[in-house]
Amino acid sequence: MKNKKIIILSVIVSLFLFILFKSEHFALDTYTFSEDVNANATWYLANGRVVMYVFLKLSFILNLTCKSIKSISLMTAILSLFAANILLNARLNKHMENDIYAAILSTALIYCPFIIELFLFPEFTGTMCLAILFSVLGATSITNYFETKHIRNLFLSLIYATLCAFSYQGVMGCFASLAILFSCINYKNFKTFIIQHVYIVATYTIASLSSLIITKLMGLTRLSSGGIDIIKTIKGIMNGSIYLLINTSRVFPKYLFIILSMAIALVIFVEIIKTKSYKQIPLYVYLVLISVAFSIAPQLLVDPNSIWIVARSNICMSYFPIFISILAIGKQYSKSFYQHIIVCIISMLMIFQVCGWYTLAKDHYYTNKMDEIETMKIIEYIDAYEQTNNAKITKLAFANDKDLTKSYDKVTTTIGDINLRTYAIDWARKGIIDYYSNKNYEIVTLNNSFTDSCRNNDWTAFDNSLLMAENDTLYICIY
């Protein structure tokens, strides 16, 4: 019966995600990615993402289309999260008497609010979600080692953690924070607790370094080459983290995630006061700090100007309300009445989350469609010019108008690089025109009267006055 409940929940969420993203869709990276899959494979290896490299190399050898790569990626993602949820639930069932609560909390953790961003990058969704599965496998393996002392489990944990880093470093914090969550649930004494943390941090560090070494060997890294400006770095991390928790990549209405998380903390605190169980407070505070710390830790070594706090690379930052809920129910700190309230709030979070996911996906597809419409108008203009003037457009030149429009009017969920107009991003413009025209244009520098006219005016929508062809070059003003 326990397995049946988690399977039903996993199937429901999996079907929802499949329905949302079964149609072909595009990220900003897609257009440049599709130009040369083999070259992109090398780039991902240089970033330490070995699993992505292998996947793309196989795709290149098998001559898979971009659409096929996306389909395989989506199914890999859905199956990975499904398996991760089953595994996590099996662990939680060892600590919880109520299997329904275990199923809800497991599902809330694996399908956390920030996971949606992984699905907005269709070619990479599979390997990024595979990293979630490896993080759960790694955390459960090292917990099994603590319980059984079988060295095999420790080695398995290191292998899974390394595979997690090789899949997507952005979720490495999930491995460590989950392992520490299990350690907190199984807390016996301070000495054992510290020893377990040494093993967890050592495994995390070795796995992270394995990916970093590949990155360094390939000569591509965002790490600071000089001295680290710790004050500037911490300030950048704090500002980015606060902004992310407040806006939650537009999954929740502003501040709602923090409000509901604080509501869970308040319920737990009220019970602690009533039962005078003050010794529990440090574990709760520690779990909250850990879920945030392992998200931001890698950023401490990054050049301050390269700090990029986004949902997809800070998955475990959204874990803390679920972590304290699992600790309260798993350790049986909370009585039945308080457990009901906690699970109700978590369920409420999940309902808002699903609505937010739908809105994000809807805006994502709308942005894709508008990008395609504008691109086809550009291609039609090129075709008409070439037929009329017996010429061949081989070069593109871009300029921005006075006030660049970052997103389309009907889109309400832009944050970071999510749901932006492709033409608002300078490195993606050529790629989308190449993609839909099936050509390879050359980018040239634009510096003429058309440039001045573009930069001194402000358009709010696309029309042909934004285009001018001359000889072999098309000049495009981006509104």
Angle, helices 230-247 vs 256-275, to 10°: value is 90
What pLDDT does residue 12 have? 96
Inter-CA distances, 44 with 127, 188, 350, Å: 11, 43, 33
Residues 6 or more apart whose CB falls under 8 angstroms from that of 178 comprise 88, 135, 136, 139, 316
- State the pLDDT at residue 31: 84
Under 8 Å between Cβ of 445 and 460: no
Q: Which residue has the tokens 């609560």?
A: 101
Distance CA 113, CA 91 (A): 21
How many CA atoms, within 13 angstroms, populate the side-chain half-sphere of residue 362? 12
Give the number of other Cβ atoms within 10 Å of residue 81's Cβ.
25
CB 268 within 8 A of CB 345: no
> What pLDDT is recorded for position 293?
85
Residues 222 and 324 sit within 8 Å (Cβ to Cβ): no
Q: Are 48 and 162 in contact (CB under 8 A)?
A: no
Sequential pLDDT tens for the chain (479 residues)? 567 889 999 999 999 999 999 999 999 888 877 777 888 888 888 888 999 999 999 999 998 888 899 999 999 999 999 999 999 999 999 989 899 999 999 999 999 999 999 999 998 999 999 999 999 999 999 999 999 999 999 999 999 999 999 999 889 999 999 999 999 999 889 999 999 999 999 999 999 999 888 877 776 555 555 556 677 878 888 888 899 999 998 899 999 999 999 999 999 999 999 888 888 899 999 999 988 888 887 776 666 666 778 888 889 999 999 999 999 998 766 678 899 999 999 999 999 999 999 999 999 999 999 999 999 999 999 999 999 999 999 999 999 999 999 999 999 988 888 899 999 999 999 999 999 999 999 999 877 788 888 888 999 899 998 999 988 999 999 99
Q: Please enumerate in sequence order all residues whose Cβ is within 8 A of that of 21, keeping only pairs 6 or more positions apart, or say none.
A: 74, 119, 122, 125, 361
DSSP 36-89: -HHHHHHHHHHTT-HHHHHHHHHHHHTT--HHHHHHHHHHHHHHHHHHHHHHHH
Q: Please answer whether residues 116 and 360 qualify as being in contact, where contact means their C-beta atoms are separated by less than 8 angstroms.
A: yes
278: its two tokens: 């003050």
Q: Give the three-class secondary structure for 418.
A: strand
Helix segments in 168-316, DSSP class H: 172-185, 190-217, 230-247, 256-275, 281-296
Q: DSSP state, 138?
A: H
Q: Tell me, what's the pLDDT at 57? A: 92
